[in-house]
Structure 1
Amino acid sequence: MMFTLLGPVRVVTDAGDVAPGPPQQRALLALLLLRNTPVPIDDVVGALWGDSPPASAHGTVRTYAARLRQVLAGTGAELRRSASGYHIARNGAGVDADDFDRLVGAAREARRSGDLAGTASALRAALDVWSGPALGGVRAEFAAAQRTRLEESRHTAREQLFEAELALGRHEAVRADLGAAVADRPWDERLTELWMTALHRSGQTVEALEAFRRLRTALSDHLGLEPGSELQRLHQRLLRGDESAVVPPVSAEPAAARPVQIPPDVRDFTGRRAAVDRLCRILTEDGGIPVAGLTGLGGSGKTTLAVHVAHVLSDLFPYGRMYLDLRARTGGAVTAYDALGSLLRSIRPGLALPGTTAERSALWRTLTAGRDMLVVLDDADSSEQVEPLLPACAVVVTASRRLLELPAVAWQRLGPLSDEESLRLLGEIAGHRRVGAEPEAARELVAACSGHALSVRVAAARLLDRPLWSVRQIMAQLADDLRQPVVMHEDCKIVDEPIRRAEASLPAGPAQVFRLAALAASPVRTVAEVSTMTGLPRAEARAALEDLVDAHLIEAVDVDTYRYAVLIQAFARRRAEQVEGPDRCRAALAGPGRRLVAVA
Structure 2
Amino acid sequence: MSEERQNQLHIAHTPILGLGDRRFSLGRAAPDFTGRGVEIRQMVDRFQAGTVGTFLLWGMGGVGKTTLAQSVAHAVADQFPDALIELNLQAMSDVPISSSEAMASIIHAFHPDEKLPDKKPELRARYRTVLYGKRALILFDNVKNEEQVQDLLAAAPTVGFILTSRNALALSSVLSISLDVLPSSDSIKFLARITSSEVNNRNLSAIAKLCGHLPLALRVAGSNLTIRKSQSTSQYIEALEVENTRLERLKGKTITDDVKAVLSLSARELVHENARLAQRWQMLSVFPADFDKFAVAAVWDLISDSSRASGTVEEELTALIDRSLVQYDTNTDRYSLHDLMRPISREVFEYVEGHPLQADSARCIAAAKRRFAIFYCNKASEISLHHNKNDSHIRQDLDNIASEITNINHGQAWANRSRHLGICTTNLFGGRLYEKNIMTIRTTLINGL
TM-score, normalisation: structure 2:
0.69
Partner of 1:201: none
- Which digits, 9 at most, give the CA deviation of each residue in 1:327-377, with x for residues without a partner? 112222112222211111111232232222222222222222222111111
**Alignment partner of 1:328: what SS?**
coil
Question: How far apart, CA to CA, are the structure 2 residues paired with 1:328 and 1:431?
Answer: 35
* 2:406 corresponds to 1:590: no
Q: Is the 8 A contact 2:247 2:259 kept in 1?
A: no
* 2:280 corresponds to 1:280: no
Q: Is the 8 A contact 1:517 1:525 kept in 2?
A: no
Question: How far apart, CA to CA, are the structure 1 residues paired with 2:334 and 2:349?
Answer: 21
Question: How far apart, CA to CA, are the structure 1 residues paired with 2:376 and 2:22?
Answer: 64
Partner of 2:318: 546
Question: How far apart are 1:519 and its partner, in Å?
Answer: 0.9
| Same amino acid, percent of matched pairs | 24
**Alignment partner of 2:113: what SS?**
coil
Partner of 1:442: 204
Partner of 1:518: 285
Question: Cα distance 1:468–1:498, how it changes in 2: closer, same or farther (>3 A)?
Answer: closer
**Alignment partner of 2:28: what SS?**
coil
- Which digits, 9 at most, give the CA deviation of each residue in 1:464-507, with x for residues without a partner? 22124332211111222x224x9656718821223222223332
Give the letter aligned to residue 278 of structure 1.
Q
Q: Is the 8 A contact 1:282 1:292 kept in 2?
A: no
- Which digits, 9 at most, give the CA deviation of each residue in 1:84-103, with x for residues without a partner? xxxxxxxxxxxxxxxxxxxx
Q: Is the 8 A contact 1:516 1:576 kept in 2?
A: no
Question: How far apart, CA to CA, are the structure 1 residues paired with 2:366 and 2:92?
Answer: 33
Question: Cα distance 1:566–1:413, how it changes in 2: closer, same or farther (>3 A)?
Answer: same
Q: Is the 8 A contact 2:299 2:369 kept in 1?
A: yes
1:325 to 69, 78, 88: 88
**Alignment partner of 2:118: what SS?**
coil
Give the letter aligned to residue 429 of structure 1.
I
* 2:294 corresponds to 1:531: no
Question: How far apart, CA to CA, are the structure 2 residues paired with 1:447 and 1:538?
Answer: 33
Map residues 539-578 of structure 1 onto 2, 5 A cutoff: 539-558=311-330, 560-575=333-348
Question: Cα distance 1:375–1:557, how it changes in 2: closer, same or farther (>3 A)?
Answer: same
- Higher RCO (C-alpha under 8 Å, 6+ residues apart): 2
Partner of 1:248: none
**Alignment partner of 2:142: what SS?**
strand
Question: How far apart are 1:594 and its partner, in Å?
Answer: 4.2
Question: How far apart, CA to CA, are the structure 1 residues paired with 2:206 and 2:165?
Answer: 30
Q: Is the 8 A contact 1:265 1:307 kept in 2?
A: yes
Q: Is the 8 A contact 1:533 1:588 kept in 2?
A: yes
Map residues 470-489 of structure 1 onto 2, 5 A cutoff: 470-480=232-242, 482-484=243-245
Question: How far apart, CA to CA, are the structure 1 residues paired with 2:218 and 2:339?
Answer: 13
1:402 to 156, 168, 185: 168
- Which digits, 9 at most, give the CA deviation of each residue in 1:509-563, with x for residues without a partner? 3322222122133x11111111111112232122222122112222212464212
Q: How many residues align?
A: 336
Question: Cα distance 1:583–1:344, how it changes in 2: closer, same or farther (>3 A)?
Answer: closer
1:296 to 49, 53, 59: 59
* 2:31 corresponds to 1:267: yes
Q: Is the 8 A contact 1:328 1:379 kept in 2?
A: yes
TM-score, normalisation: structure 1:
0.52
* 2:216 corresponds to 1:454: yes
Give the letter aligned to residue 307 of structure 1.
Q
CA RMSD of aligned residues (A): 2.6
Question: How far apart, CA to CA, are the structure 2 residues paired with 1:285 and 1:363?
Answer: 29
Question: How far apart are 1:277 and its partner, in Å?
Answer: 1.1
Question: How far apart, CA to CA, are the structure 1 residues paired with 2:101 and 2:244?
Answer: 44
Structure with larger Rg: 1
Question: How far apart, CA to CA, are the structure 1 residues paired with 2:277 and 2:221?
Answer: 30
**Unmatched tracts of structure 1, length 5 or more:** 1-256
Question: How far apart, CA to CA, are the structure 2 residues paired with 1:364 and 1:582?
Answer: 51
